[in-house]
Structure 1
Amino acid sequence: MVHSLVSICAKEVVSDHSSSPTWLRWVPRELYGPLLEASFACCRPLAVGELVQRWPERTLRIGGRSKAGQTAPSRLCIQALLLGVVRGLTDRRSALQILDISGLQKDEGGIGEPMGGWSLTVALCTMVVQAKAGAQRAQRKEGDRERKRFSALERERDLKRERGQRIESRALQDDETCGEKAGSKGPISEQDLIKGVRRRMEMERKRGIVATGSGGSKPETEEKEACCEVLVHVRADLFVNARSWDRVRSALSAAGPLKLQCRYLRVEEISVSSIRTLLNLLPRRALLGIDIRYSFLGVAGLAELLPLLSTFPELNSLRLHYCNLDIRRESFGQEEVLRNLSQGLANLQELRQLSLTTLRLPGQLRVLLSSLPQPLEVLELPYLSLSPADLAYLSCSHHASSLLQLDLSDNCLDETTVPSIRRLLSQASSSLQHLSLSGCGLTDGLLSRLLPTLAGCWALKSLALALNPLSLAGLIALVQTAARMPCLRQLLYPNPLEDYQPGLPDLPSSAQLLEWPLDESTDMNMTSNQLNKVLMDSGRTDLFLTCDLLNYDKDLVV
């Protein structure tokens, strides 16, 4: 990785925080970006906070897709970032109006202690609520100062008035003295005394109303309007579960200087009613995707949520994982529920990505996908118990020729379904970039029938075939085919059957291949060396081969 001169100098500048008062006041706005990047890279949270507090641009974008070799920001730097945003609300040097940290959260733990999705969500919501409370305190202090200033002015006016009344009273006394001397005596009339008392009572009443307000404090409407002024819009991805639910709801309901907007929403283990409440609090224009996991939705619950999802005009991604959608358990009213489900999906006009994991909907793929108005670009259907009729429909659907990413992992493929898979891959050959057929029961014979079609997928960048019962000969044939695919950059292959301990069934399932121990007496690097030699003989040095299922990530492919 080649560093520019600016980045090298920026890292040197932020390395010593004690010198920041000398350079921070003179740094031009064009260098704030490189200095902030250097602060994140060198883990300098104090520098991060100071730069963000006086950020000179309208927009600050942190997060997104990481560059090659770039680590995620540390937890301390993210906390300093959020604190700097709050402090910048009262800093006249700050021009920040939009903070975009979408995609910033990473997995908990790891190198540099990055902040995970749940922790970042809680920190964000806490920041929004505290900013609202701080604005209310500042507003109350300002109101108190105004009331004290007005009271001082009123007291000064009263003193002037009293002085004037004393002068008038002395003048009257002088007139009375002169009158007595002239022989004309008479007291002040009762009507004049009444007018003076009424005037003083009216003045006291007006002063009390202005000083205390109608209810003894500043009117709530004025305070609410003052707190509703949004200074910074915060765009982020939110991760909500039962522990963070109340905090997120409070932050989304808060009317303060920070306005929280959600780009991608992930919810886990919360009820349909709670999800509905959460969706009603989200701004309609910001939400791009929703990911629901481990929630007891059922087919009826999903049909209930879909009309609400259709009110988000930019929603393009829907992911449902382990949400208890098992159509085989439905009996009474099943047709009506499926009809409602189909109608709800039909209203998602911008949906391009659909992920359904372990929903157990055999034979219902046509009902789910045929109603979608636009062809899908990403379709993930792992553990879905797809039937031959489902695969046959998918190969002829309007989605086939538009797919960029397809995941059919852990759906059993056999002689009856291979023709449908070949037809599907042929339809998607010019667009498909990522394909996963892991755990599909592909033997050497089935794979040999698929390889010619796979070779025709010239746009394919990553291919995952883990946990399939393939022999070493089958793997060599696979690598030879992969070497002829010009765009392919990653291949996840299974351990060959020869590497397992004796006793494995003739046609083992993916679960058996995952749990069965490997033979420790064999050289684990022998398979890798043989496959890499095939690549070298084919002249390919840009294709990465791996059997590491846990660390495989297709998104690393550029």
Structure 2
Amino acid sequence: MWPILPQKVYFQYSFWRRLFRMDIQSPPKLLELASQSLLRDEALAIAALEELPAELFPPLFSAAFAGMRSQALKAMVQAWPFPCLPLGALMKEHKPHLETFKAAIDGLDVLLAQEVRPRRWKLQVLDLRLNAHQDFWTVWSGTRAGVCSLLEPEVAQPVRKRCQVEGARAWPKQTWAPVEVLIDLYLKEGTPDASLSYLLKKVEQRRGSLLLCCQKLRVFTMSMQNIRKILKLVQLDSVQGLEVNCTWKLATLGTFAPYLGQMVNLHRLLLSHIHMTPHAAPDEEKYCVSQLSAQFPSLQHLQELYLDSISFLEGRLDQVLRCLKNPLEALSITNCVISEADLMHLSQCPSVSQLKYLDLSGVNLTSISSEPLRVLIEKASATLQDLNLDECGIVDSQFSALLPALSHCSQLIAFSFCGNSISMAVLESLLRHTAGLSKLNHVLYPAPLESYEDMRGTPNLGLLAHLHARLKQVLQELGRPSVVWFSANPCPHCGDGAIYNPEPILCPCYMAT
């Protein structure tokens, strides 16, 4: 049954209907021209929305967004016939003007202010993530073949339980479900920008009916005062990935820690460049570390933990990790100072028994017994897929003790241990111990000690080629004729290392000599 429309609207409407019935391979230019034609009179386009087929909304919305038709955008948000509006993917393709973005947000704001929702209203999620629902607009615009599976785009899980956040107060119950705004936040000096500031203002005004959900949160250099202002508007239990990459003092991390504890659905946590204040009182340090570790019992979904350049770990690693309740899939402790006791506690931690990824690069193990590391690798041997021991200062005797444990890592795919002082004999022994690891195909070895000409670490290319050929021969004998990668010590002048695979890739300093 055709709807009763004014003659001019009816003409446009029937044209859209006939156009959409055409094969998806029809020239997409036709669809674009039709959108532009309808949008020349925004009032007419808005009047047609009530009866416009749902399948015509995406191409019309895309055209209105690209053409900065603010009034049409505002009206289309209120009439959006799908559960999800993936605006972020459109913003990635067409960098939005501020007024265009405001129009979309204002449409949502008007919608939420209405006591009675529009008849066709289905919107549950406004997705502002740039890399989500990439196919939605291309399929509907006709620029890529596809079926109508995107009629019901993926929607975030309904928010059932919300953590109390700073500054929150009780709001009257709504007769309808709140609308979620999905966004990835990058907090650094100079943010929020005008678009984010406008969104935050609307979230604060519509608190309770408009929920700001953030799956990925990255915190760079920003004052704690500004961080608090933003985080009090975020549904913290929506955060799944948190990266704190700041030159924070330990005390600042202690202040941030309660927010971390509210991120109960966190899967991935990265803390980087946290340092202790010189001459800080021991009691203050102890309190701050306990503030951090006290949050871990709440993080029952944590799977990946990355700690980089953290100065307070030595002697406290057990305190930080013992509160973890569930097994981790990835653990990275890099460029940190830890003690033998720390490594022993780590090897005994229940959370490391199912690791798939272990990275200890930049942790100096020269004066530490290899036994705790051997136990750690052995414990994770059934699941470990990626192991990184670069620049750990490991010597022959230590590495030889690790070989039996390595030979049990049946799932190991990648292994790197560059920057360690290993002899040719131990490298050959490694090849023989790992010959049975059928999945191991990405290995980066340190160039053997015998390949250097002097104490400065200058590689002798002739020796390197000879030793490389010898290791390839060993692999041939073992039935594993894969390529051996060498990484030489960093150049003392520029810091670059030479790679040999099988021809040398040298740093500019060496090539100039």
Deviation at 1:394, TM superposition (A): 0.9
For 1:269-308, list aligned pairs within 5 A.
Answer: 269-296=221-248, 298-308=249-259
Whether 2:386 is the aligned partner of 1:461: answer no
2:328–2:354 CA contact under 8 A, matched in 1: yes
Distance 1:407 1:315 in 2: 20
**Equivalence map 1:113-512=2 (5 Å):** 130-133=100-103, 136=106, 232-235=126-129, 237-247=184-194, 248-254=196-202, 261-296=213-248, 298-325=249-276, 329-360=280-311, 361-414=313-366, 416-504=368-456
The number of equivalent residue pairs is: 389
The separation in 2 between residues aligned to 1:320 and 1:387, in whole angstroms, is: 20
Query: What letter corresponds to residue 396 of structure 2 in structure 1?
Result: D
Q: How far did residue 339 of structure 1 move?
A: 2.7
Q: Quick one: distance in 2 between partners of 1:337 and 1:273?
A: 18
Q: Identity of counterpart residues, as a percentage?
A: 25
TM-score (norm 1): 0.57
Tell me the C-alpha RMSD between the 2 structures. 5.0
Alpha-carbon distance, 1:57 to partner: 11
Give, as a single letter, the amino acid of the residue that structure 1 aligns with 2:100: Q
Structure 1 residues 330, 93: closer, same or farther in 2, change over 3 A? closer
Runs of 4+ in 1 over 6 A off after TM superposition: 79-82, 84-89, 91-94, 137-140, 220-223, 256-260, 548-552
Write the distance in 1 (CA, Å) between the matches of 2:212 and 2:466.
53
Displacement of 1:532 in angstroms is: 3.6
SS at match of 2:193: helix
Q: Read off the aligned partner of 2:245 and give its amino acid letter.
A: R
- Cα gap change, 1:551/1:274 in structure 2, threshold over 3 Å: closer, same or farther? farther
Which structure carries more helix by proportion?
1
- Separation (CA, whole Å) in 1 of partners of 2:425 and 2:19: 64
- Give me the TM-score of the superposition, normalised by structure 2: 0.61
How far does the alpha carbon of each residue in 1:440-496 deviate from its partner, in whole angstroms, 9 at most, with x for none? 111222211111111111122211101111233333332333332122231121233
Q: Deviations over 1:190-211 (max 9, x none)?
A: xxxxxxxxxxxxxxxxxxxxxx
Distance change (3 Å), C-alpha of 1:473 and 1:310: same
Q: 1:400 to 1:527 in 2, by over 3 A?
A: same
* Residue aligned with 2:415, SS: strand
The answer to whether the 8 Å contact 1:316/1:352 transfers is yes
Alignment of 1:82-97 (within 5 A): 83=66, 90=76, 95=82, 97=84
For structure 1, which segment, 270-279 or 256-265, has the greater mean C-alpha deviation from structure 2 after superposition?
256-265
C-alpha change, 1:254 and 1:332, in structure 2 (3 Å) is same
Per the alignment, in what secondary structure is the counterpart of residue 214 of structure 2? strand
- Return closer, same or farther for 1:386/1:96 CA change in 2, 3 Å cut-off: same
SS of 1:479 mapped into structure 2: helix
Going from structure 1 to structure 2, the CA distance change for 1:85 and 1:452 (only over 3 Å counts) comes to farther
Distance 2:498 2:186 in 1: 23
**CA 1:25/1:408 → structure 2, altered by over 3 Å: closer, same or farther?**
same
* 8 A Cα contact 2:423 2:450, kept in partner: yes
Structure 1 gaps of 5+ residues are 1-20, 37-45, 60-78, 105-118, 141-219, 505-515, 553-558
State the partner residue of 2:502.
none
Which of structures 1 and 2 has the bigger CA Rg?
1
Whichever residue aligns with residue 357 of structure 2, its letter is Q
Q: After TM superposition, give the deviation of residue 291 of structure 1 in Å.
A: 0.4
The residue that corresponds to 1:535 in the other structure is: 475
CA distance in 2, matches of 1:473, 1:266: 45
1:493-549 Cα deviation digits (max 9, x unpaired): 123334445233xxxxxxxxxxx5544x54765554443443333223577746499
Name 2:159's counterpart in structure 1.
none
Q: Is the 8 A contact 2:444 2:485 kept in 1?
A: yes
Q: Is the 8 A contact 1:129 1:250 kept in 2?
A: no
